[in-house]
A and B are shown apart, each in its own frame.
Chain A
Amino acid sequence: MRACFAAALLCVAGSVSAQDRTDPRTAPPGALACSGCHGAGSDIPLRGLSTDEIESAMLEFRDGSRDATVMGRLAAGFDTSEIALIAAWIAAEGGDE
């Protein structure tokens, strides 16, 4: 189960330079919290994932079709449009923040 979950969000962890820093002011509601678990230093970073990959993962966590430990409980708190915005922002911003 863990392998499945990790593989779903696997990506190349890049180093974080000042140039890569996101502008937190453009974050849609909820998106700033993601980096608490998925920012630099994480085993499950979001950096490098596309909007579609993040969005479909969140939707599958939400409906339970993708195994999760905590993400199912968190994704359940967001509607489809919120998830789309968060996915787009994280993909556009590099996902390190």
Chain B
Amino acid sequence: MTTDRRTLLKGLGATAALTLPHPVSAQSRGRVVVVGGGFGGATAARFLARIGHDVTLVERDPAYVTCPFSNAVIGGFYSMPEITFDYAALEAEGVRLVTGAATEVGDGAVTLDSGEVLPFDRLLLSPGVEMRFDALPGYTEAAAQKMPHAWKAGPQTALLQAQLADMEDGGLVVIAPPANPYRCPPGPYERASLIAHYLSARKPASKILILDAKEAFSKQPLFEEAWSTLYPGMIDWIPPSMGGRVAEVDPTTMTVVTDFDRYEAAVANIIPPQQAATIARAAGVTDETGWCPVSGVTFESDLVAGIHVIGDACFAGVMPKSAFSANAQAKVAAVAIDALLRGEAPNSPKLLNTCYSLAAPDYAFTVAGVYGEADGKLFEVEGAGGLSPLGAPAAVRSAEAEYARSWYATITTEAFA
């Protein structure tokens, strides 16, 4: 392997004309339909268009509000316009944008709610998640208007932010995260941190109670260290073994019922279980888990040939559901789709994830992972990745907060700008 790579390296060095993408020939120019314009779909659409394919992006909304940094909006130090992106840059690069919802996938074509039919050679689904409103008694779609999940950024984010602004000092904020797997595993705990940041300055007698469906959570020691340092006494976390599992909610009385207790919340952020968005089920690419198993080489569905799934909707083995993962998968999938359209064998990829969590505007930490592929499955490279160190000096936490902002600027530029 080393010899081959050394040889290839010399070859790369000797090749001068690498800068411009070589446009694909007329025969191998493929029609690719991308469904979903988040970090996965937007990145994949523009990479495929740059390579030279005929790309149509189907997106329900004219603009995308990012979940990353939506907790900073809730925490009061970012604004909604700062986390909102449109698709003008993609259209300028030749991506055909269709605003609408994909409702059906047939043999080589996607049908939209408008009735339009889009034929494809390859379909890339990056539809994200949908909330399961059948999973938690009392938590219906209507209930989410009183007890926002805010797990899709946009009006739900604004609703939660407004409820916190209206809350009296001394109120109880309940956050109820779901069991794994779900979009952005550390997100609920970042949210608790940034709500505490907001409340400690403005409504310091308030409390935050996390009623959890799981016994442990992502970056737990780092969050617990941050909470005791930054917000002593403000945040309580209750796992199921201590009675934290939410059994039922009542939005009319703002009551959250656990196995052992009832809590009347001033603000209730209920984050229900999730599954791959509806179009994935319509396309037949979900399994009994509600997610989409895919190849670790091409992100092609294990269940339906010709359909690729990336981002939060896919089950990519060990990779977590994060914006960074979706963006990294998008680039690998775009290159693999190009190879398949040209009748070539895609290369075995390596992928990364780096996920920042802010505990305060100037206090952040990360979890990272490096992923290789073997036998079509992604595995975590041993000895790499892991968490930021515990007990790090404030300068390290603030450096990671600056890098978090830099990461956000970069990944939103790559996907949308």
Contacts and interface: CB of A to CB of B under 8 A. Distances in A.
Interface of A: 1-2, 5, 18-30, 32-33, 35-44, 51, 69-70, 73-82, 84-85, 88-89, 92-94
Contacts, number: 173
Which range holds the interface residue count of chain B?
35 or more
Contacts of A74: 352, 354, 368, 370, 384-385
| Residue with the greatest number of chain B CB neighbours at <10 A, chosen from A5, A25, A42, A81 | A25
Given A40-B414, A92-B18, A69 B366 contact: yes
Contacts of B370: 30, 74, 76-78
B403 A44 contact: yes
A73 B407 contact: no
A69 B400 contact: yes
Given A80-B2, A85-B8, A85-B12, 10 more contacts: A5-B399, A25-B335, A29-B347, A30-B349, A35-B410, A40-B414, A41-B406, A42-B409, A77-B372, A93-B18
Given A44-B403, A88-B9, A70 B18 contact: no
Interface of B: 1-2, 5-6, 8-9, 12-13, 15, 18-22, 47, 50-51, 93, 324, 327-328, 331-332, 334-335, 338-339, 347-352, 354, 366, 368, 370, 372, 381, 383-386, 388, 395-396, 398-400, 402-403, 405-407, 409-414, 417
- Smallest CB-CB A-B distances: 5 pairs: A77-B370, A77-B384, A41-B413, A30-B350, A29-B350
Contacts of B399: 1-2, 5, 69
Nearest to A23: B21
**Secondary structure call for the B interface:** helix
**Secondary structure call for the A interface:** helix
B140 to A, nearest CB: 37
| Residue with the greatest number of chain A CB neighbours at <10 A, chosen from B47, B327, B338, B410 | B410
A44 B383 CA distance: 25
A24 B331 contact: yes
